[in-house]
Amino acid sequence: MKQSSIEIVEVGPRDGLQNEALAVSTVDKLALVERAIDYGARRIEVTSFVNPKKVPQLADAEQLVVQLPVRGDVTYIGLVLNRRGAERALATGRIDELGAVCVTSDTFGIRNQGQSSDESLAAAIEIVGLAKEAGRSGQITIATAFGCPFEGKVAIDRVVEMAKRAAAAQPREIALADTIGVGVPSQVSEMVGRVREAVAGLPVRVHFHNTRGSGLANVWAAVAEGAATVDASLGGLGGCPFAPGAAGNVPTEDVVYMLERGGVSTGLDLPAIVEAASWFTGVMGRPLPAMVSRAPAFP
């Protein structure tokens, strides 16, 4: 392990809910954010400012963010895909950080956000600039970094090149996202290692989906290679509406259990996460994918 602590970004309110058939109320979303703060999350992806017709689950973005608890110690992230989204997020005055997303393939880019790969990178760079002008921070995620649902394998050189170009805009960090959960630990080790080298000095965040069961192993591989931050979602909900067969994110409780027992501190309180997951199961009305919150507590 290259480090004894990492940071977790709770993405449940955004990625966790965007693919759900059940429309979660703004009140419950707010409660989800409050519970995440209670269990120690200090960076939370609260929503996305995208076309409400395409992602109706997050159509209440403005309504939600103006009600977020006012706290100097919590960073609220709003995901945006273009200038219009960035302007909406910044206009609320309540988003601390813009999360921009570029994609490695043209086919996925067109379906997910109506942009080719290069256009998505240009938009992400523009978004970071807008965030900085507004006195906020911006970060760039490279989605489908480990594979594309339409084009298949993604060349690692392409990801490294995109990371370099993204890093030149000096975002807060560069993230590598396995949007469709096809990555495996050997690939993650190589990619995180090469991208860290390419973006010299900028922190690397990782975002894994557990579609094929390799999510937790990928987190471990990424942290071992020096990833500073890991995205996770309470209960393991999540998925991209524009990626066929997408499944949940790595669950916050499972990631925290694995890392803390492995000597990597996360700053999160596991019993409090498990309690939040039990509440959240009631909200969603069905068992959630996470394992740790359904297993007996380990004394």
Kindly tell me which residue out of 10, 15, 173, 225 binds Zn ion, with binding defined by CB under 5 A. 15
Q: Closest approach of Cβ 10 to Zn ion, in Å?
A: 13
Measured between alpha carbons, how far is 236 from 8 in angstroms, rounded to an integer?
14
Pick from 12, 136, 142: nearest CA to 86: 136
Instruction: Output Rg (C-alpha) for the chain, integer angstroms.
Output: 17
Q: Closest approach of Cβ 74 to Zn ion, in Å?
A: 21
Kindly state the number of chain residues that form the binding site for Zn ion, as judged by CB under 5 A: 1
Dihedral pair phi/psi, residue 97, rounded to 5°: -145, 135
Which parts of 101-214 fold into alpha helices (H)? 106-113, 117-133, 156-167, 185-198
Active-site choice (61, 240, 247, 268):
240
Measured from the CB atom, the residue of 141 and 295 that comes closer to Zn ion is 141
Span from 13-21, 53-61, 64-72, 79-87 in contact with Zn ion (CB under 5 A): 13-21
The SS3 assignment for 75 reads: strand
Measured from the CB atom, the residue of 15 and 254 that comes closer to Zn ion is 15
- HSE of 27, CA atoms in CB hemisphere, 13 A: 1
Handedness of CA 10, 109, 112, 190 (dihedral sign): negative
Q: Closest approach of Cβ 207 to Zn ion, in Å?
A: 6
Span from 15-23, 89-97, 160-168, 283-291 in contact with Zn ion (CB under 5 A): 15-23
Is 148 designated active site? no
CB-based contacts of 188, cutoff 8 Å, min separation 6: 146, 178, 206, 218, 221, 222, 225
Measured from the CB atom, the residue of 15 and 225 that comes closer to Zn ion is 15
Span from 11-19, 109-117, 149-157, 220-228 in contact with Zn ion (CB under 5 A): 11-19
Measured from the CB atom, the residue of 15 and 173 that comes closer to Zn ion is 15
Q: Please state, in angstroms and as integers, the Cα–Cα distance from residue 89 to each residue in 84, 218, 282, following that order.
A: 9, 31, 30
Measured from the CB atom, the residue of 187 and 210 that comes closer to Zn ion is 210
Span from 7-15, 83-91, 107-115, 116-124 in contact with Zn ion (CB under 5 A): 7-15
Residue 10 interacting with Zn ion (CB under 5 A): no
Active site residues: 240
Contact positions vs Zn ion (CB under 5 A):
15
